[in-house]
Amino acid sequence: MKTNQIPAEKAKGWMKNFEKEKQSSQLKWKPFFLEKSTYEKLTGDAPKRIRIYLGLEKAENGGQEVVAFAVATAPDATGVFRDLTEVVFKLGKENIDYSAKTEEVKAALKAWREWKKSDSSAKAKSRESIYPNGFLTHDEEFKEILAKQGKKRAIVEFGMEEQVTLLLASDEEATAKTPEISYFDFMEPCPPVCDSGSDFVRL
């Protein structure tokens, strides 16, 4: 087992748990990808990590769809990871540079946070604890998939134990030689691990 790797059965259980939660949310959820070129543009040469924020947009066929945006983040003198929001990518089947569309990004992030507060039912009161606003990633898993394994992109899927999280895997199908895809849980949820000064937190 590598750093932060999840046993196959546990990963499957988390994804199964999420399938149940997804039905109750009445939102459209899709796995998304992080391309090697995007990773390199965000992290550069200096030590950086990536923070992934969740947003909400209107889906093409009606309803609302959960979307993801990635920014670089680097530690300050106190060790707090600060967002570098000048460069932003929307993550999906393809990664799209949204650096010139920060107002659209903020609108999607705000819509997500408003959705979490939109239902007055007892179920909705738990949304704040179940659904994070974003995730601070670790770097080892990206290096494992994009550098050591030589993949051009990684797939990110949703899972859930007590809280919704993201599971990272190499973008490949299970085969006879590789009967199980390796999944990694590499996330520190926001809240509580946030950059309180970030434009993407102070909406």
Residue 67 has which token pair? 């979307």
Per-residue confidence (pLDDT) for residue 179, from 0 to 100: 46
Give tens-digit pLDDT for 68-77. 999 999 999 9
Q: What predicted TM-score, i.e. pTM, was given to this entire model?
A: 0.91
Give tens-digit pLDDT for 126-137. 788 899 999 999
Domain that includes residue 186, residue range: 5-190
Torsional class of 103: left (φ above 0), alpha (ψ -120 to 50), beta (otherwise): alpha
How many separate domains does the chain show?
1
Lowest mean pLDDT among 31-45, 90-104, 113-127, 164-178: 164-178
50 in Cβ contact with 43 (< 8 Å): yes
Distance CA 195, CA 133 (A): 12
Half-sphere exposure of 44 (CA within 13 A, CB side): 10
Within a domain: residue 111?
Answer: yes
- The CA distances from residue 127 to 54, 137, 177, in Å, are 14, 22, 40
Going by the DSSP 8-state scheme, the letter that residue 138 receives in this structure is P
Sign of CA dihedral 12, 194, 201, 91: negative
Give the chain's mean pLDDT: 87
3-state SS assignment for residue 40:
helix
Amino acid at 150: G
Within a domain: residue 195?
Answer: no
Within a domain: residue 196?
Answer: no
Half-sphere exposure of 200 (CA within 13 A, CB side): 33
CA 119 vs. chain centroid, Å, equals: 24
Within a domain: residue 134?
Answer: yes
Distance CA 169, CA 151 (A): 10
Within a domain: residue 103?
Answer: yes
Within a domain: residue 202?
Answer: no
Per-residue confidence (pLDDT) for residue 119, from 0 to 100: 66
Radius of gyration of the chain (CA): 17
